[in-house]
Every structure is written in C-alpha cells, then in structure tokens.
Amino acid sequence: MRRDQRQRLAAQQAELVAALVRGGEEPAGFDGEQLRVQREMLVGKRRRLVERLRPDLAERLGDRFRGLFDSYAAEHPRPRGSGVRDDAGAFTRWLRHHGHLRRRWFRRG
Amino acid sequence: MRPPRVGIGWRPEIDLSVERLRPDFVEIPAEDVDPRRIPESLRLLRGSGTPVLPHAVSLSLGGAEPLRLDRVRHLAEVAEAVEAPLVSDHVAYTGAGRWDAGHLLPLPRTRDALDVLVENVLVAQEALPVPLALENIAALVEWPGAELGEAEFLARLVERTGCRLILDVANLHGNAHNPGTDPQEFLAALPLERIAYVHVGGGIVRDGVYYDTHAHPVVPEVLELLADLNSRTELPGVLLERDDRFPADAELAAELAAIREALR
C-alpha cells in the first residue's frame, strides 16, 4: 500500500461527496442524472431522520417542512462525525435565525 | 441439508414483535447499542439461545482516510456483550474531507480502492474478537473507470482478507435495476461459499429508480433472486431488514413466510 494510492483515492472520494452534499462541481465521468438521484436520496434520508427525531418540528412547519429542510441542508452539509441530533439542532437554529420559528414559551396568566 | 436459518433485524421500535416472531437469529444496529446497557429484549433473546449479530454502518472501510479505531472498538465491545459469532459492515465509504454523506456510498472499483479497503479490513480484523463479514451495497451512482467487475472486486477482497460476505439480494436487485449489474453473472463470479448470510429488504420504484428503503414490502424480484441464489449454494441464513414504517406483526410474519417459501 503506497501513500499516493490513499491520497489519490481520498481526493476522488472527497470530490464525489462534495458534489453530493454541498453542490460541489460534478466530478468528471459521472452520470449527471445518477448524481441528481443520489443527491436527492441523501437529503431525503437526512430529512426523514430529523422528522423521526423531531415530529413536533415537522408538525409545526406543516407543508413548509420539506422545502425549508432542503434549503437548510443545501447550505449546511453534515460535518464528519455529526449525528442526527446535531442535524436537528442545527436545523432548529437555522429556522429561528431565518424567522421561520417564533419562540412559543408557555405564558402565565 | 438443513434449511437456511431465517432471521430479522432487531430494532427498538419492533422489539416485542421480534421476540414474538421467534426468529432463528437477529441482527442489531451496532452504533445504536451501548455494550454496557444491552436492552432487555436482546438479553431475553440471547437467553433463549437466539444468536445476536451486530451490524455496523459507520466503519467506512472503503474510505481513504485513516480507519476510526474507536468505532471498530465499539463494534468489538458490542460483539462481546452479546456473545456474537460474527460482526459486519459494508463495502462502502460514508464521508470524505469535511463532510459526512450520512449514507453508504459506493467505492470506485479500482486497484487503488481495493488496496485501501483490504488494508482497512485487515486492521479492523486485528481489533475484532470474531470474524468480520462485508456486505454489497445498493449503488445509485456508478464510478467511472472501473478496473474490476463487481463480483471480482468482492472475490479479491475475500481472497486477500479472508472476510466473509453478507449478500444483500435487494441491493443486488437495485444494482440490476439501476446501474445495470447482471445478477446472473454476478452470482456466477462470487465466492458463494463465503456467504455468512443473506439480506432481504423492501424497496420501491419511483420515477424508474429502485430505492432500497427498508420501509416498504419486499418486491417479488428480490424473492426470485433469493430462490435463484438458494439453488446455487447452501445458504447458512437469510435475514429480513425493516427500518421504517414498521408494519403489524402479521405483515412481518408474512414477509418471513415468503422468504421461507422462496428457500424451499
């Protein structure tokens, strides 16, 4: 195993991931339609996992959930080593920041 | 010849259903299990003699970046906690550079990629207390510049590492439907005697693309592939995977019965 083999593969793999999760340039030789299908599948999986973890959020957003999540996801790929909880937390912050969620504290009286 | 054992993927959402279905073996999602706090349902299954096999998705064994040994150790600890005879992950990578794909991505079928995978698998095997099996994934994208066929890639991996295989027939069906693998050629070139067990899962076709969702019923073509495979070799076991939109017990039981039927 030579170091240059790993480096070459690392660059190829990073290029594909960037194209799939952060709208990076399409790597040469791939089928554009396959990349589109894979990209949508990945964001759909992310969305479903967040929805399962935070059904309350999906309910509050209703029809807007899908579009808002996909906009968030396109701007914020999941960093390495992060999990669904991190994703759901970051999505909630993003929603607040963009004014899509009003804080609803319990009110007294 | 004994019939293959038939198992089901244990998930917390269907723990009681799994116990009621009395599978011959179960698989558990390795990352979700704390080896110091094995769920009661799994302890009961172990107590009744049901083998429990940890199945991982996070080792990224085909990734060019250094192997995450903490994840291998976690898998080893889970294996010990449930006295597993075997553990598994996939022939895939899950992220690169700064980003996580959140899913299993295919490897380029090049000699470089095979060398990296082999090296990672050998390191992982050193740290694992039991044999490692590796599974073929469902690929939605195909890398350009393949130097090896799909089955050839897996056969060389087996030859060089001594690993076992989990053959997912739903993924094979997906790859036949999407990138256009020939399942007959694939099965003919694969070292079938190295199969530890087979995965069967549900999926759906949308806009002409087959998605391996594990959230829908098993499609008839997958059961036909299973029957074909079963006629070629003596299979140790077959396991049904369901990860979402969990149906009632009766529907899971019917899927297990359909698997048994395909194995007759």
A29-64 pLDDT per residue, tens: 999 999 999 999 999 999 999 999 999 999 999 999
Locus of tokens 């085909």 = B62
Dig out the tokens for B9 from the structure.
């993927």
Is the pLDDT at A1 greater than 70? The verdict is no
Beta strands in B108-202 (DSSP E): 132-135, 164-168, 195-201
- β-partners of residue B166 are B135, B197
Beta strands in chain B (DSSP E): 5-9, 26-29, 52-55, 87-90, 93-96, 99-105, 132-135, 164-168, 195-201, 204-206, 209-211, 237-241
The CATH classification of domain B5-205+216-249, taken from the options 2.50.20.10, 1.10.3720.10, 3.20.20.150, 2.60.40.10: 3.20.20.150
Give me the pLDDT at residue A102, please. 74
Nearest to B113 among A9, A14, A31 (CB): A9
Nearest to B99 among A21, A35, A41 (CB): A21
CB B38 within 8 A of CB B47: no
Chain A residue with Cα closest to B32: A83
Locus of tokens 């550079």 = B97
Residue B18 and residue B41: Cα distance in Å, rounded?
A: 9
Please check whether residue B83 touches A, CB under 8 A: no
CB B241 within 8 A of CB B10: no
Beta-carbon neighbour count of residue A101 at 10 Å?
A: 17
Q: Hey, where are the domains in chain B? A: 5-205+216-249
Locus of tokens 């039981």 = B253
Contacts of A48 in chain B (CB under 8 A): 244
Among A7, A31, A40, A80, the residue to mutate for chain B (most B Cβ within 10 A): A80
Measured over the CA atoms of residue A45, residue A49, residue A55 and residue A61, the dihedral's sign is negative
Residue B206 and residue B31: Cα distance in Å, rounded?
A: 30
ipTM above 0.90, yes or no: yes
Contacts of B144 in chain A (CB under 8 A): 28-30
Give me the pLDDT at residue A104, please. 62
Give me the pLDDT at residue B191, please. 98
Contacts of A37 in chain B (CB under 8 A): 140-141, 209
Please check whether residue A18 touches B, CB under 8 A: yes
Give residue B262's identity as a one-letter amino acid code. Answer: A
Give me the pLDDT at residue A3, please. 82
Below-70 pLDDT ranges, chain B: 1
- Between strands B5-9 and B26-29, the pairing is parallel
CA distances (Å), origin A14, targets A8, A30, B96, B114, B244: 10, 14, 5, 17, 29
- Mean pLDDT estimate for chain A: 91
Exposure string of B50-60, with b = 16+ CB inside 10 Å and e = fewer, is bbbbbbbbbbb
- Write out the H or E segment, with its range, that includes residue A13: helix A3-21
Interface of B with A in 97-126 (CB under 8 A): 97-103, 105, 108, 110, 112-113, 115-116, 119
Give me the pLDDT at residue B3, please. 85
Contacts of A7 in chain B (CB under 8 A): 64
Please check whether residue B206 touches A, CB under 8 A: no
